[in-house]
Amino acid sequence: MSFTSELARSRWSDVYIAAFAHFFGSVAAFLVMVTLVLSLQRQGARGIEVAILIIAEALPMVVLGKVIGRLVDRVDSRVLLAIAGAGQVLATLALSQVDEYFAIVAGAVALSVATGVAGPVRSALLPSMVTRDDLPKAIAIGQTAGSAGMMIGPALAGFLVYGLDVRPTLQLAALGFLGTIVAAFLLKTRRGGQAVTAEQSTADAGKVEWTLGGDRLLWSATWGLTACIAAIAAVNVVLVFFIIRTLGSTEQVYGIVDSMWTLGVLVGAWVFTRFIKPATTDGTLAKWLFTALGIASAALVAVGAAQHALWIVPFYLIGGIQNAGLNVLAGTLLGRRVPAEARGRANTALAMRVQAGALLGYMSGGLLLELSQPRWIVLSCGVVGVLVAIVVAPLVLRHSEATAVSKDENVRYAEAS
CA 9 to chain centre: 27
Contacts of residue 413, defined as CB under 8 A and 6 or more positions apart, other chains included, come to none
Residue 288: what residue type? W
Element at 328 (helix H, strand E):
helix 312-337
Per-residue DSSP letter, 191 = -
Q: pLDDT tens, 339-362?
A: 888 888 888 888 888 888 888 888
d(CA 15, CA 12): 5
- d(C-alpha 154, C-alpha 275), whole Å: 32
Is the pLDDT confidence value at 106 over 70? yes
**Contact present, 354 and 226 (Cβ < 8 Å):** yes
From the list 170, 176, 232, the residue with the least C-alpha distance to 20 is: 176
Does position 395 have pLDDT exceeding 50, yes or no?
yes
**Nearest alpha-carbon partner for 257 in 218, 300, 294, 288:** 300
Between 110 and 276, name the one with better pLDDT.
110
Query: Is-contact 323 296, C-beta < 8 A?
Result: yes
Closest of 231, 240, 252, 221 to residue 392, by C-alpha: 221
Percentage of the chain surpassing pLDDT 90? 32
Asked if the 11-186 domain carries CATH number 3.30.470.20, the reply is: no
Do the domains spanning 11-186 and 213-407 agree at the CATH topology level?
A: yes
pLDDT of residue 5: 52
3-state helix, strand, coil in the chain (%, to 5): 80, 0, 20
* pTM for the structure as a whole: 0.81
The number of CA neighbours under 13 Å toward the Cβ of 179 is 23
Using CB atoms within 10 A of its CB, is residue 109 exposed (0-12), middle (13-18) or buried (19+)?
A: middle
The helix (run of H) or strand (run of E) holding residue 161 is helix 135-164
Instruction: Count CB neighbours of 55 within 10 A.
Output: 15
Provide the mean pLDDT of the chain: 84
- Higher-confidence residue of 393 and 152: namely 152
Give pLDDT tens digits for 214-263: 887 888 778 877 887 888 888 888 888 888 888 888 877 887 888 888 88
Contacts of 28 (CB under 8 A, 6+ apart): 88, 92, 149, 153, 173, 174, 175, 176, 177
Mean pLDDT value across residues 113-121: 92
Handedness of CA 147, 101, 95, 356 (dihedral sign): positive
CATH topology of domain 213-407: Growth Hormone; Chain: A; (1.20.1250)
Q: How many CB atoms lie within 10 A of CB 215?
A: 21
Cα(152)–Cα(199) distance, rounded to whole angstroms?
A: 37
Q: Is 309 helix (H, G, I), strand (E, B) or coil?
A: helix
**Rounded distance between C-alpha atoms, residue 269 and residue 288, angstroms:** 14
Give the separation between CA 154 and CA 185, rounded to whole angstroms: 29
Between 155 and 414, residue with greater pLDDT: 155
Identify which of 194, 192, 144 has the alpha carbon closest to the alpha carbon of residue 18: 144
Cα 327 from Cα 268, distance rounded (Å): 10
pLDDT at 129: 92
372-385 average pLDDT score = 90
Return the domain boundaries, the chain. 11-186, 213-407
CB atoms within 10 A of CB 244: 16
Which pLDDT band holds residue 3 (cuts at 50, 70, 90)?
A: low
CA distance 95 to 88: 11
The whole-angstrom separation of Cα 384 and Cα 281 is 28
The pLDDT of residue 198 is 44
Q: What is the mean pLDDT of residues 98-106?
A: 92
pLDDT of residue 372: 86
Cα–Cα dist 78/197, whole Å: 13
